[in-house]
């Protein structure tokens, strides 16, 4: 277990006090999201349509250094960060 930073988009920041990210102890993306929702239950409805099932307009990326790619369920690497990216429509 290690501290993982989860970056939240503007659309979710009203539900979480602070500066737009949360640090949780987790070894994988599913663990990290579970810990996030446990700490901030209001986020659960925003992120998941059913327990463990991400809503189809929500993407989760893992950033390793300068590159980022869609998250899978595998273990997180040292220094990896998670970024939640929902669709927004403003123009």
Partner 1 sequence: MSRVMMEKRATPELSGDEIRRYGRHLSIPEVGPDGQRRLKASSALLIGAGGLGSPAALYMAAAGVGRIGIVDHDSVDLSNLQRQILHDTAAVGRSKLESARSRLAGVNPHVEVETFETRLESANALEIMGGWDIVVDGSDNFPTRYLVNDACVLLGIPFVYGAILRFEGQASVFATSEGPCYRCLFREPPPPGLVPSCAEAGVLGVLPGIVGTIQATEAIKWLLGTGETLAGRLLLIDALRMEFRSLNISRDPECTVCGEHATLTELIDYERFCGHEPAAAPEAETDVDHPEIDVEELKRRIDANEPFQLIDVREDYEWDICNLESVGARLVPLQSLPNAVDDLDRETPIIIHCRSGPRGTNAVAYLRTMGFDNVVNVAGGILAWAEAYDPDMQVY
Question: Which spans of this chain sit near partner 1 (rule: CB under 8 A)?
Answer: 9-11, 14, 20, 42, 45-46, 55-57, 59, 61, 63, 67-70, 83, 85-91
Pick between residue 51 and residue 67 the one whose CB is nearest to partner 1. Answer: 67
Shortest spacing between CB 56 and partner 1, in angstroms: 4
d(CA 48, CA 77): 24
d(CA 30, CA 27): 9
Beta bridge partners of 26: 2
Pick between residue 11 and residue 23 the one whose CB is nearest to partner 1. Answer: 11
Pick between residue 1 and residue 69 the one whose CB is nearest to partner 1. Answer: 69
What phi and psi values does residue 66 have, to the nearest 5 degrees?
A: -85, -10
């Amino acid at each position: 277990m290690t501290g993982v930073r989860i970056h939240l988009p503007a659309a979710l920041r009203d539900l979480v006090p602070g500066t737009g990210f949360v640090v949780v102890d987790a070894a994988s993306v599913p663990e990290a999201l579970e810990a996030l929702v446990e700490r901030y239950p209001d986020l659960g409805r925003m992120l998941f349509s059913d327990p463990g099932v991400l809503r189809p307009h929500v993407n989760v990326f893992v950033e390793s250094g300068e590159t980022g790619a869609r998250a899978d369920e595998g273990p997180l690497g040292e220094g990896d960060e998670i970024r939640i990216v929902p669709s927004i429509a403003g123009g």
